Chains A and B, each alone.
Chain A
Amino acid sequence: MSWLRPIDAWFASSVLPHETELLRQARRWATGDDEARDLVHEAYAELLQLERWDHIGNPAAYAVRIMRNTALQRMRRARIVPMRQFAALEEGEHPDPAPDSFAVAAGRDALKRMMIAIDALPPACRRVVLLRKFEELPPRAIAERLGLSLSTVEKHLARGILLLSRALRDMPVRTDPPGPIAAKDSTRRQA
């Protein structure tokens, strides 16, 4: 049972897996991690509002183009731009982000990371998450077993998901992902 719309499902499978590479690309065009993150999120926002999202052949490369255009606009408005950023923007080739190699490297660590993250949850959250996801008890049964109200169970579950989502995103990857594949012609076009 999926609560995602088709555009969300597409985004989750075709764009989000490239996040690390997109952030890396964004850091070359922004000052600091926060600005890089903003750049990536602006691209995400644009993608999630596209009407013809299903006509995009290479979503990750498209995201890179959006970020490049946004960064270019920002630099034109700013009075002083670090040379490094400007040079990075001028570069002819923007390699296609390649998720596969990264996902393979990440996959090996993922289960371990998840277990560590679950271990780090506050005890009440952890109990509820495990009962729900491991024992597969419905929320009502969890409430009965733990002597809690249903809304408390929901709160613990929500908090657990929130903390896990953050933990699984922010933890550093052990191995450095290999370089991305060579650019195709689409990324050589001018913005």
Chain B
Amino acid sequence: MTRSTERQERIEAEAADWLAALDAGHADRAVFERWRAADPAHALAFIRMDRAWRDLDQLRRGDPESAAPETAPGVAPDARAALPRRVALKAALGVAGAVATGGGIFLATQAAAHTVETAIGERSRFYVADRTCLDLNTGGRLRWWMAQGALEVELQRGELALDLPPGARACTLHAGAARFRLGAGRFNVRLRAGGIVDLATIAGEAWMLPPHGRSQETPVPERRKLVVSNGAEQAHALSEGDVQALSAWQEGEILFDGQPLAVAVAEYNRYLPVPIELAREDIGRVRLGGRFLTNDPTEFLKALRANFGIRADMRRDRILLSA
């Protein structure tokens, strides 16, 4: 038993060394990743050190969790003021209780958010906060963190599906300039060019939160698609076909239902490292339908050939379509 404790202590010391080296910008990333992958005990030790590192973020004067009024209502302004000297820190112990009741101290804060990114054609599906499922689509990027025991997610790029089980605490979703509160259910959110946000309530309800300073929440009932653009929002009903089209990517598929080829290609290209290009603009006007694989356009190209006589020329950096 002593030997395994010694071993654990040695591994933890190594992990702490790595963390300090990474922080100083000194570490050879490749060597670090090899060390971490060599043994799950290494990965565990690093997780522990990283956690201590993040917990120390609470000391920061500019810690977002303690600074934002809505996340720590109990914090007295003095507690957040500078405490640079040991003496002042000891005095701060008296107000530590007030700071701590802001909640979420032991859990990661926004300052210690987890970032998840997907490459083109990649998808990342994972569970957070016990049973909430996040599924990040191609070319996406999000941050997630816990604030006072509740999940907050910020979609920075791409498209995200969220599955909040019954009984899950409401989750706050940031996308572009919009903010939403999501109840239990299934949601699909997409950030488009120009900061336009699409939110679909496939199951369950959501609320669009007003900008800071205002109080009126906008309910988004079940089976709706909300498009938020320049602060204004428009709601449309969500048909079963819409739901199919919205969720197809979660099964590795892309669904077309009468869109012009130009639009279909733009959508497909979200998933393709080698994009499809139209040799002439007028080719893009034909309308098509069907279900295809997001990671393989072969059948799609075959269908174009069979139905419209459109040929695909496989170049090194693009797939060129011509009539």
Residues of A within 8 A of B (CB): 1-14, 16-17, 34-35, 38, 41, 44-46, 48-49, 53-60, 99-100, 103-104, 106-112, 114-115, 118-119, 129-130, 132-136, 139-140, 150, 153-155, 157-159, 161-162, 164-166, 168-169
> B127 near A56 (CB under 8 angstroms)?
yes
List 8 interface pairs A-B (beta carbons < 8 Å), by A numbering: A12-B47, A54-B125, A60-B130, A111-B96, A111-B105, A130-B59, A154-B17, A165-B48
Which residue of A is nearest B53, CB measured? A161
B18 vs chain A, min Cβ distance (A)? 8
> A34 near B16 (CB under 8 angstroms)?
no
| A107 to B115 alpha-carbon distance, docked (Å) | 24
> A133 near B56 (CB under 8 angstroms)?
yes
> B108 near A13 (CB under 8 angstroms)?
yes
- When distances are taken between beta carbons in the complex, the residues of chain A under 8 Å from B146 are 13
- Interface membership of B291, Cβ < 8 A: no
- When distances are taken between beta carbons in the complex, the residues of chain A under 8 Å from B84 are 134-135
- When distances are taken between beta carbons in the complex, the residues of chain B under 8 Å from A58 are 130-131
| A162 to B56 alpha-carbon distance, docked (Å) | 12
- Interface membership of B152, Cβ < 8 A: no
- When distances are taken between beta carbons in the complex, the residues of chain A under 8 Å from B108 are 12-13
Q: Name the segment of B37-45, B171-179, B226-234, B255-263 touching the other chain.
A: B37-45
- When distances are taken between beta carbons in the complex, the residues of chain B under 8 Å from A17 are 106-107
Which residue of A is nearest B145, CB measured? A13
Which residue of B is nearest A134, CB measured? B59
- Interface membership of B61, Cβ < 8 A: yes
Decide: A54 near B127, CB < 8 A? Known: A157-B20, A168-B52: yes
> A108 near B100 (CB under 8 angstroms)?
yes
| A111 to B275 alpha-carbon distance, docked (Å) | 52
> B96 near A112 (CB under 8 angstroms)?
yes
Contact of A107 among B8, B13, B106, B127 (CB under 8 A): B106
Q: Name the segment of B22-30, B188-196, B210-218 touching the other chain.
A: B22-30
Decide: A158 near B105, CB < 8 A? Known: A44-B44, A54-B125, A110-B100: no
**Would you list which residues of chain B between 115 and 137 have a CB under 8 Å from chain A?**
115-116, 124-131
Which residue of B is nearest A128, CB measured? B20
- Interface membership of B323, Cβ < 8 A: no
- When distances are taken between beta carbons in the complex, the residues of chain B under 8 Å from A100 are 149
> B1 near A154 (CB under 8 angstroms)?
no
Contact of B116 among A6, A11, A112, A162 (CB under 8 A): A6
Which residue of B is nearest A52, CB measured? B125
Contact of B126 among A3, A54, A154 (CB under 8 A): A54
- Interface membership of B198, Cβ < 8 A: no
| A108 to B103 alpha-carbon distance, docked (Å) | 7
Decide: A165 near B51, CB < 8 A? Known: A13-B129, A134-B61, A135-B84: yes
- When distances are taken between beta carbons in the complex, the residues of chain B under 8 Å from A1 are 115
Instruction: List 4 additional A-B contacts (Cβ < 8 Å) besides A107-B103, A165-B51.
Output: A4-B114, A54-B125, A115-B92, A162-B49
| A54 to B123 alpha-carbon distance, docked (Å) | 12
- When distances are taken between beta carbons in the complex, the residues of chain B under 8 Å from A11 are 44, 47
> B49 near A2 (CB under 8 angstroms)?
no
- Interface membership of B93, Cβ < 8 A: yes
- When distances are taken between beta carbons in the complex, the residues of chain A under 8 Å from B92 are 115
Decide: A115 near B114, CB < 8 A? Known: A8-B46, A49-B40: no
